[in-house]
Amino acid sequence: MTNKNIDSANSDIDKHNHVTSPITSKVNQHGVFSILSIYDYRLLVLSNLATFAGYQIRNMAQAWIVLERTDSALLMGIVNAMPGIAIISISLIGGALADRTERWQLLWRTKLVITSMALLTGILLTTNLFEWWHLIPISLMTGAMFALHNPTSQAFAVDVVGKERLVAASSLNTGISMTATIAGPSLGGLLLLIGQDIAFFVLAALYALSAVMIMMVRTRHLSVSTGSNILDDIRQGIAYSYNTPIIRGLLIIGATALFMGTYQPAIPVKTQDELGLNEFGYGIILGLNGIGALIGSIVLFMISNKVRKGYLLIFALVMFNSSVLVFAVAPNIFISALAMVSLGLAFSGWMISVPVMLQTTASEQMRGRVMSLYFMVVLTHQLGWIIGGAGIELIGIQPTLFIGVAAGLLIAGTVIIKTPELRLAR
């Protein structure tokens, strides 16, 4: 085949891989706020706003309910780790599906199943049939759906806005989503005071709204068959990621989320036992994390064309782990609150550096599989609920968090030193 024929074939594949709406294709390319003129992007933002709010309500509601009913940090950690276990187990399948199926349909269908799980929990609570262990299978099913949803959502975002505006889109999306992170825990705490079943009915409504927003999106991604089975696609995705230094380094750093996640069970335990706050106070503490992330996202959105993503990642890692240490030793509500705001700032840097570098580095054919690997490793932070919960019961909050920070920084620091492509990434 001649070069001319190859170029023609590649052009045909691109046309099939990415079909945009007329509005998307005509959008003004200039200025960071031009991203808002894309109709489908606005719908994605609204969908993510509802999903993030639901995520926050579900996490804090489950943690509080299990802790209240069992008085066990370990059992609380096990329940909240279930979605992460499911995502880690089948995320690679989700990534392969994202590259070989119509992404739009996969998104709204998984959201509807997630909605049904929240609705089921609310019904069990209303009818007094609920037992804390019911959250284990429900959380596993919810996590399985997110395993299919997450890499698809990340890949679909590039379909909607294109790689050249991905930093601006990610910054704005993170900022708007962090608004939900601020309001979600506070709303969740208030809803738990009104009724635990009410919290899950509101959660179901938020997930349903998120599904409706996706149904209204016009962009379609029509994949061309690779001619191989799904297991071959998965193997190719793993090999591609391993052989690409910057992707390999980012995935190893993402795996340090296992140690970073140990701080999660420390928040409700410290809030209840050391700070003496109730459900609403727990929600406020979590909301402060969202305030920090919102501030960071707004700043990064405004400077999206200037930010150097490699340096941003290093800054986020140092700031995050420093904030965890401050939270561990915080003697009062004020210092704890400052630490949570700082954690949020660091989180925004992570969310705008790591996923963006992966998406812009990966090829169109491999993007879904690369992002599935990212979610598989980064969702090990859910296992941090188990490790952190067990550590807190055995040795206390401070030693557990100190060990987690030391392990995470050792691995991430080694990778950054040995991967110059990562340090210099723009």
Q: Looking at residue 127, what DSSP letter applies? A: T
Q: pLDDT tens, 49-103?
A: 888 888 878 888 888 899 888 888 788 888 888 887 888 888 788 878 777 778 8
Residues 6+ apart with CB under 8 A from 43: 213, 214, 216, 217
Q: Is the pLDDT of residue 1 over 90?
A: no
Question: 120 with 155: CB under 8 angstroms?
Answer: no
- Position with higher pLDDT, 182 vs 384: 384
Domain boundaries defined on the chain: 30-423
- Give the integer Cα–Cα distance in Å for 294 and 286: 13
Residues 6+ apart with CB under 8 A from 171: 297, 300, 301, 304, 352
Give the closest residue to 300 by CA, choosing from 286, 311, 288.
311
- Give the integer Cα–Cα distance in Å for 251 and 375: 9
- Position with higher pLDDT, 167 vs 270: 270
- φ and ψ of 304, to 5 deg: -60, -30
- Position with higher pLDDT, 240 vs 165: 240
Q: pLDDT tens, 27-56?
A: 444 445 677 778 888 888 888 888 888 887
Q: The tokens 């990610």 sit on which residue?
A: 170
Give pLDDT, residue 11. Answer: 41
Q: The tokens 């009818």 sit on which residue?
A: 127
Architecture of domain 30-423: Up-down Bundle (1.20)
334-371: string of b/e by CB count within 10 Å (b at 16+)?
A: eebbbbbbbbbbbbbbbbbbbbbbbbbbbebbbbbbbb
Taking the whole predicted model, whether its pTM rises above 0.75 is answered as: no
pLDDT mean over 401-405 = 91
Query: How far does Cα 369 stand from its chain's mean position?
Result: 16
- Give the integer Cα–Cα distance in Å for 230 and 75: 36
Least confident piece of the model among 199-213, 246-260, 282-296: 282-296
Local confidence band at 187 (pLDDT 50, 70, 90 cut-offs): confident
Local confidence band at 189 (pLDDT 50, 70, 90 cut-offs): confident
3-state secondary structure 194-253: HCHHHHHHHHHHHHHHHHHHHHCCCCECCCCCCCCCHHHHHHHHHHHHHHCHHHHHHHHH
What's the whole-number average pLDDT of the chain?
80
- Position with higher pLDDT, 8 vs 330: 330
The angle subtended at Cα 214 by Cα 212 and Cα 217, nearest 5°, is: 120
- Give the integer Cα–Cα distance in Å for 377 and 253: 9
- Position with higher pLDDT, 175 vs 123: 123
Give pLDDT, residue 160. Answer: 81
Q: Is the pLDDT of residue 352 over 50?
A: yes
Q: pLDDT tens, 264-320?
A: 888 888 888 888 887 778 878 877 877 887 787 777 767 656 767 788 888 889 999
Q: Is the pLDDT of residue 356 over 70?
A: yes
- Give the integer Cα–Cα distance in Å for 366 and 350: 22
Give the closest residue to 107 by CA, choosing from 178, 35, 48.
48
Give pLDDT, residue 98. Answer: 76
- Position with higher pLDDT, 125 vs 367: 125
pLDDT mean over 146-157 = 79
Distances (CA, A) of 219 to 24, 162, 215, 367, 425: 8, 12, 10, 17, 30
- Give the integer Cα–Cα distance in Å for 225 and 217: 23
